[in-house]
Each structure stands twice: as C-alpha cells, then as structure tokens.
Amino acid sequence: MKQQRNSGRRERRSALYEIRKSNIQGKGVFAMRRIRPGQRIVEYTGEKITNDEADKRYDEDKMKRHHTFLFTLNDDYCIDGDVPTNKAALINHSCDPNCEAVIEDDRIWIYALKNIQPGVELAYDYQYERTGDDIEALEKFYVCRCGSPKCRGSIMAPPKKRRKKKKAAKRSKRKTSR
C-alpha cells in the first residue's frame, strides 16, 4: 500500500507587509494584504536600555532634524529599535494614523486601528513628549510630513489642554468691549 506522506509543510501565506520608499520620510512599511481593525501586525523589537543611555546614544543637539529609533517604555527605560530584524522601526508617524502602538508587559506591538488595504502605508502616532520651551524650534526639529489634512505640523504629542475649573467662574453681567 502506498504510504500517505505528510510533507510537514504548512501552507505559507504571502507577506503581510513590505518595506519600501515612503513619501512621508525615508523608508516606510506598506500593507501587502488587507489588514483588519484590531489585527496585531508586528512587534517593535530592539534593545532595552535606560533613558540615560538613550540620551548618550542619540545626541539630539547634534542632529539637524530629529531621527532616532527609540520607543519609550516608561520613565526609566526605552527600546532602541535600531536593530536589523526590527521591521517595525521603519513604520512612520501620521497625525491621522491607521495603526497604534501598544505596550504589553514591556513589549511593544503594532495593531491596526482600521481596515488597511494593500498598498497603503502603515503609520501610528508617535506622540513624542514635548520637552523644552522654545516651541518654534521644537516644531521645526520635530516637523511632520505625514501629509494628512489632520496634520498637527509636528510629530510631538499635541499640547496638553488646560483642565477646566470644576466650577465655572461667575460671568460678569457687563459686556466687555472686545
């Protein structure tokens, strides 16, 4: 009797994404297949280092334009994603993103926020922390080129809104001349 052989091979699906030149900046990551909302796409991997070490590795004062591969985990640590196996490092920022980055037990995962069609560039909102007072210089240094109609102009997190006082101040009955 002819023996049934199991080839041991699993049916391979085509790649979910590819890396190629982006209109936003440098290289980017593009969907190759349809990606569904909530789908986990890729892990942002790299070397876990202290924030102090990150400051030593990347001296922003010496950069003309911001360019790093750092992802903040918490007040003490970040991931330096500048390792060849980390494809997620090439995902650009968008102010109107189709992905989000989620930290789960010190690991960073990129999830789809919406339906993403093949050929569309993946992007999440970097929301870089605003440090420093010279807003104009910061916005120039962290300039955003996502091209979205919702673009904030910079890849920094939007400025924090002042919290409204719990009780509204009594309005003056008099009209102001303004």
- Could you tell me the smallest distance in angstroms from the CB atom of residue 16 to Zn ion? 25
DSSP 70-112: EEE-SSSEEEE--STT-GGGGPEE-SS-SEEEEEETTEEEEEE
Residue number with CB closer to ligand SAM (21 or 40): 21
Among 24, 101, 103, 113, binds ligand SAM (CB under 6 A): 24
Among 51, 68, 72, 127, binds ligand SAM (CB under 6 A): 68
Angstrom distance (rounded) from CA 54 to CA 52: 5
**Does 26 participate in binding ligand SAM (rule CB under 6 A)?**
yes
**Does 146 participate in binding Zn ion (rule CB under 5 A)?**
yes
Residue number with CB closer to ligand SAM (35 or 70): 70
User: Kind and range of the H or E element at 7?
Assistant: none
Binding region for ligand SAM (CB under 6 A) out of 30-38, 89-97, 99-107, 157-165: 89-97
Residue listed under structure tokens 């391979």 = 12
Three-state secondary structure readout of 23-57: CCCCEEEEECCCECCCCEEEEECCEEEEHHHHHHH
Please give the single-letter amino acid code of residue 177: S
Binding region for ligand SAM (CB under 6 A) out of 40-48, 50-58, 98-106, 141-149: 141-149
- Could you tell me the smallest distance in angstroms from the CB atom of residue 119 to ligand SAM? 17
Binding region for ligand SAM (CB under 6 A) out of 1-9, 65-73, 114-122, 158-166: 65-73
**Does 145 participate in binding ligand SAM (rule CB under 6 A)?**
yes
**Does 92 participate in binding ligand SAM (rule CB under 6 A)?**
yes
Angstrom distance (rounded) from CA 163 to CA 154: 23
Angstrom distance (rounded) from CA 7 to CA 13: 17
Interacting residues with Zn ion (CB under 5 A): 95, 144, 146, 151
